[in-house]
Amino acid sequence: MHPAPSVIIFTMFSGLGFGLLAYLGLGLPPVAGWVAFGFFTLGYTLAVGGLLASVGHLANPKNAIKAFSQWRSSWLSREGVMAVASLLVMAVYAIALIFFDIRLRMVGLLGAVLCIGTVFTTSMIYTQLKTVPRWHDWTTPPVFLLHALGGGALLAGQVRMAGIFLAMLGFLMVWAWIKGDEKGLSGTTLESATGLGRIGKLRLLEPPHSGQNYLLKEMAYDVGRKHAFKLRIIALVLGYALPAALLLLLPVGHVLALVIVIAHVAGVAAGRWLFFAEAAHVQRLYYGK
């Protein structure tokens, strides 16, 4: 699949933002006043910035408002509804906490649940697609959730929790990569795609068109995969292993925390690029790919 910057930024930063907001809703850290203002600003900037980036992926954004209508059938619509609900509930909690020094515990708890729910709906947009076997797997939702829980804890200064979640994520990510490689196209072949397997082995003789098209650009992406293994190592070390080790083994001050956050974001960016670039869509078979 085409690793569009808009969807990489969207999934990465909205995940981090909603993760941070979830911790703040639970009173972790127990901030108030202007410090709380700073934390909530960061959380909202990441969450809303990510969502705005996703609008950049739309070819006809004037109809984006209609995406809230189909929550009964569509995961993308559910995500939109959940995102807005989380941001509104958390806004009530944040305003009470910052300006009135009142901690509305139940509202915060509800907001936290909605934030995590939003990340789950994001993951389901990808998990639901049978056409991309690498995504259509039980590992996809926990990978997204652990990114939000680990990255969110890191931003919220929850050192031990961040270390534990990121360590878990590292192991799960390696498992998901290996499993995704083994799955390939999950048994779908050019022979099953055309029904012509009854004659014999197939090859593409002539493609339907000599130039590019939307299908090739969007769903038959194969640029830069030769560095996939190196990028996996970068994602694993910078995104999960190094942060987890530093968080769990060293006393973490503000400077070290900043280094860990930068490493984590860089690693996750590499990993999220791979999430799209390595995902193979079955329709590419028709193009002999």
DSSP state of 26: T
Structure tokens at 51: 């969502």
Which of 34, 182, 203, 223 touches another protein by CB under 8 A?
A: 203
Which of 106, 182, 208, 226 touches another protein by CB under 8 A?
A: 208
Distance CA 262, CA 280 (A): 29
223 counts as binding another protein under rule CB under 8 A? no
222 counts as binding another protein under rule CB under 8 A? no
106 counts as binding another protein under rule CB under 8 A? no
Structure tokens at 87: 């941001």
Nearer residue to another protein within complex by CB, 123 or 158 = 123
DSSP-derived 3-state class of residue 224: coil
- Shortest distance in whole angstroms from residue 273 CB to another protein: 17
Amino acid letter, 234: I
87 counts as binding another protein under rule CB under 8 A? no
Asked whether the bond before 29 is cis by omega within 30 degrees of 0, the reply is: yes
204 counts as binding another protein under rule CB under 8 A? yes
Nearer residue to another protein within complex by CB, 211 or 251 = 211
- Shortest distance in whole angstroms from residue 279 CB to another protein: 10
Residues 110-129 that bind another protein (CB under 8 A): 125, 128-129
Nearer residue to another protein within complex by CB, 75 or 240 = 75
Structure tokens at 202: 């197939």
Q: Which residue has the tokens 């934390």?
A: 39
275 counts as binding another protein under rule CB under 8 A? no
Distance CA 163, CA 166 (A): 5
Which of 64, 95, 102, 233 touches another protein by CB under 8 A?
A: 64
Q: Is 187 left (phi over 0), alpha (psi -120 to 50) or beta?
A: left
251 counts as binding another protein under rule CB under 8 A? no
Which of 75, 120, 165, 221 touches another protein by CB under 8 A?
A: 75
Going from the C-alpha of 65 to that of each of 58, 68, 87, the distances in angstroms are 12, 6, 16
Which of 34, 60, 106, 254 touches another protein by CB under 8 A?
A: 60
6 counts as binding another protein under rule CB under 8 A? no
Nearer residue to another protein within complex by CB, 103 or 183 = 183
268 counts as binding another protein under rule CB under 8 A? no
Q: Is 29 left (phi over 0), alpha (psi -120 to 50) or beta?
A: beta
Distance CA 160, CA 165 (A): 9
5 counts as binding another protein under rule CB under 8 A? no
Tell me the window of 92-100, 101-109, 145-153, 196-204 that interacts with another protein (CB under 8 A). Answer: 196-204
Provide DSSP, 240-287. IIHHHHHHHHS---HHHHHHHHHHHHHHHHHHHHHHHHTPPPGGGGGG
Rule CB under 8 A: which residues touch another protein? 1, 57-64, 66-70, 72-77, 80, 125, 128-132, 186-188, 190, 192-196, 198-209, 211-215, 218-219, 281-283, 286-287
